[in-house]
Amino acid sequence: MKEKNIGWYIKSLCILFILIGIDQGSKLIASLHLKDKSSIPIIKNVFELEYLENKGAAFGIFQGKQLFLILFTGVIILALFWGYTKLPLNKRFLPLRICLLLIIAGAIGNLIDRIAYQYVVDFLYFKLIQFPIFNIADCYVTISAVVMILLVLFYYKDEDFSFIKIKEKNGGQV
């Protein structure tokens, strides 16, 4: 049984490294081909590739607060890893595991940028709706978070999470 668990976690780590590699590779390509250049329209007036060095977080919040963002992201990554290891290793929880891996990969991808450059490389821009410029790691986090919320609301039942132990006090009241 232990070998099965170790094999599962090794596969998960490999997938995690691949996801981070895709994110970091896309940011490297964007830096090499988009930095100090005009945006490149993919679908005219709808979607463009445009280089941006984001020194904040999502939607530009916490501009210049790199130490805070690095520490906060580190704590979130550790909490997500902990949660990942607590999920049962059965098919029912595979969608949730995939979501957590994608969120972790996105967080690590942006954390690497923050530590290495003091900014995150963004390059995807939906011009049609003037959505803030973002990157692949942001896609991992946002899409997975939405899917995870939908899973918890509509797919999983309360009893699916019975493996979570809650300390009971006062005769069964929490």
Q: Residue 2 pLDDT > 70, yes or no? A: no
Mean pLDDT computed over every residue of the chain: 91
Averaged pLDDT for residues 14-26: 98
Say how many C-beta atoms besides its own lie within 10 A of residue 81's C-beta. 13
Cα separation, 118 vs 120, whole angstroms: 7
Cα separation, 123 vs 120, whole angstroms: 10
Domain boundaries, the chain: 2-160
- Structural tokens at position 61: 């919040």
Give the pLDDT confidence of 150-160 residue by residue, as tens digits.
999 999 998 88
Residues with catalytic roles: 122, 138
Give the pLDDT confidence of 51-95 residue by residue, as tens digits.
999 998 876 788 878 899 999 999 999 999 999 999 998 899 999
Nearest residue to 120 (alpha-carbon basis) of 47, 33, 40, 24: 24
Give the pLDDT confidence of 27-60 residue by residue, as tens digits.
999 999 999 999 999 999 999 999 999 998 876 7
Cα separation, 57 vs 66, whole angstroms: 9
At residue 112, the 3 state secondary structure works out as helix
pLDDT value for 168: 47
Give the pLDDT confidence of 158-172 residue by residue, as tens digits.
888 887 765 445 555
Nearest residue to 103 (alpha-carbon basis) of 52, 60, 140, 149: 140
- Report residue 89: phi and psi, to 5°: -90, 60
Q: For the purposes of burial, counting CB atoms within 10 Å of the CB of 83, is it exposed (0-12), middle (13-18) or buried (19 or more)? A: middle
Q: pTM of the full predicted structure?
A: 0.88
pLDDT value for 159: 87
Give the pLDDT confidence of 105-161 residue by residue, as tens digits.
999 999 999 999 999 999 999 999 999 999 999 999 999 999 999 999 999 998 888
